[in-house]
Amino acid sequence: MTTQPNVSEGAVQAWSNTMLDFLKMFSGVAFVEDALPSPQLDASTQYLQQQLTLWAATLTHSVGMDTPPAISPERHDRRFQADDWSSNAWYSFLKQNYLINARLLEQYVESVSLDDKEKQKLRFFTRQFIDAASPANYGVTNPEALRTALESNCESLWGGIANLQEDFARKSISITDETAFEVGRNVAVSEGAVVFENDLFQLIQYAPLTAQVAKRPLLIVPPCINKFYILDLQPENSFVRFAVEQGQTVFIISWRNPSADLASTTWDDYLESGVMQAIDVTLAITGADKVNTVGWCVGGTLLSSALAVTRARNEDKVASMTLLTTMLDFTDPGDLGVFINEQIVSQRELTIGRSGIYPGRELGFTFQMLRANDLIWPYVVNNYLKGKTPSAFDLLYWNADSTNLPGPMYTWYLRNMYLENNLRMPGKLSMCGVPVDLGRIDTPAYVLATQDDHIVPWQSAWSSTQLLGGDVNFVLGASGHIAGVINPATKNKRSYWAEGDLDSDAEGWLASAEEMPGSWWNHWAVWLASHAGGRVKARARLGNRTHEPFEPAPGRYVKVRAD
């Protein structure tokens, strides 16, 4: 049995001072040194006790005695699954020493006195350091990489060097076998046609799969920072196909991947020549009185902005609005907020604010940093240390298919949403020549958030319920920003929460909500059916005389890769 060693108060204080100095040097964040001395001293005491326990356990382990570990990885931590991390005294020591140090840094971050934004910044960059420092990330301290090198006569090392050279040339880390997929061949394969295009987007209409369809069509506005086919990966996990199977006449915007000729495109252009143009064409093709709409992430922000403009113009073209993991209130933008401040936004405005292109690969790497232990370090280990080729995964193929953004649109979005949070304030912003107020959007809304979203914290998505003027149905799905949305109904996985009290705050809503098993897709389909406007015979042809189909889905815009 291992007993907790005693640690002197002087040693604890010395260690506390050392850790404070380290955090200041590493993060560049200024904080009050002695604002919360007790938590810091407690953390240091626990640290030194765990270190003494670890050394004692390592010595007994080395002579064949079994002792419990001083610390264990979290259940979801996949970095230390190999037997050597537990059975070998040296690797067990490396693992536990790393975890003890990581916990100490996290406790110190939580103990320092900072405002919320500075605390988030310190927390994020400390996490980046902790993730990078893992012994699993380095060849000489990774037992699996060493064994693979020995068993392959160092062929794995040569393969890793070749993989590294290829990734240097392509300026990104390979996260999937990109040769396994092709847009239009085995992803984005739902039957349909392009029925309209302009310089900014193509509009795709999908072929019906039911004898009768909703009278009102469904228009989907995907994010322009990614390609639309996340909603149409393969038949078994296609949100588009699911909607068509429910009797919806589905249209989707396929945003163009901007190049130099779109370098001066603005946020207003994305509304007027993008979302609002797509609504008008959809109505013209179907002859419906109104359209139902879906917007995901920044696509939801664009959709909400467009509806605010149309309401300011006293236009009533939309029967319902579904927002998927969308932020309208940017008070808490999550970890993305650490990249946004006045200096950064001003610098972007000076360089690309009037004309220019923000490269998709840079944006993609930012998103990878938000989940470094899922989207960076596992691929560093497998690609470079073990010399392996990434496996084929449709979602990661889409994730690697980055999209550029026009500089004026991007910088306007950064300043007015992330930096100044202007959209939530009635009349603060003017778009397309009119002041906008989200409260004037009296369209029924279905607002979906996801519990583990690292891009749109679910509480931030919940805030939309307090801004929109119509009847709102809020639903919280399990999992994260992507997996929580792409949760096929046929697989009946995970769960979601619904029917909570919207008169409360976010946590109060969750406390009053009912957890339901399976996918939120079926719940949404029932809600959407109530806004169908009746049923009609499925349309025999796509498009109409004015908007003839001229290219099979998924169209050519989506196939253009970012430079």
Instruction: Kindly list the catalytic residues.
Output: 297
Residue owning tokens 């320092």: 112
Q: How many CB atoms lie within 10 A of CB 507?
A: 10
Distances (CA, A) of 353 to 286, 405, 410, 439, 477: 38, 11, 8, 29, 36
Alpha helices in 63-175, H assignment, sequence order: 84-87, 89-111, 116-132, 143-151, 155-170
Could you tell me which of 294, 283, 213 has the C-alpha nearest to residue 246?
213
HSE on the CB side for 394, CA within 13 Å?
21
Residue 487 is inside which H or E element, if any?
none
Find, among 486, 388, 394, the residue nearest to 182 by Cα.
394
CA dist., res. 81 & res. 48, Å (int): 26
Residue 121, by phi and psi: left (phi above 0), alpha (psi -120 to 50) or beta?
alpha
383-386 own/partner pairs: CB under 8 Å, 24+ apart: 383/160, 383/163, 383/164, 383/167, 383/173, 383/174, 384/160, 384/161, 384/163, 384/164, 385/137, 385/138, 385/139, 385/142, 385/145, 385/156, 385/160, 386/144, 386/145, 386/148, 386/156, 386/160
Total Cβ atoms within 10 A of residue 2: 14
Helices 89-111, 9-27: inter-axial angle, 10-degree rounding = 80
Q: How far is CA 275 from CA 32, 107, 156, 280, 318, in A?
A: 48, 46, 49, 9, 12
Cα(453)–Cα(185) distance, rounded to whole angstroms? 30
For residue 275 the two structure tokens come to 């979302």
Helix (H, G, I), strand (E, B) or coil at 264: coil
- Within 10 Å of residue 63's Cβ, how many Cβ atoms? 7
Strands (E), 429-544: 430-431, 434-435, 445-450, 472-477, 495-498, 514-517, 535-537
For residue 522, the 8-state DSSP code is H
Burial class for 530, CB neighbours closer than 10 Å (0-12, 13-18, 19+): exposed
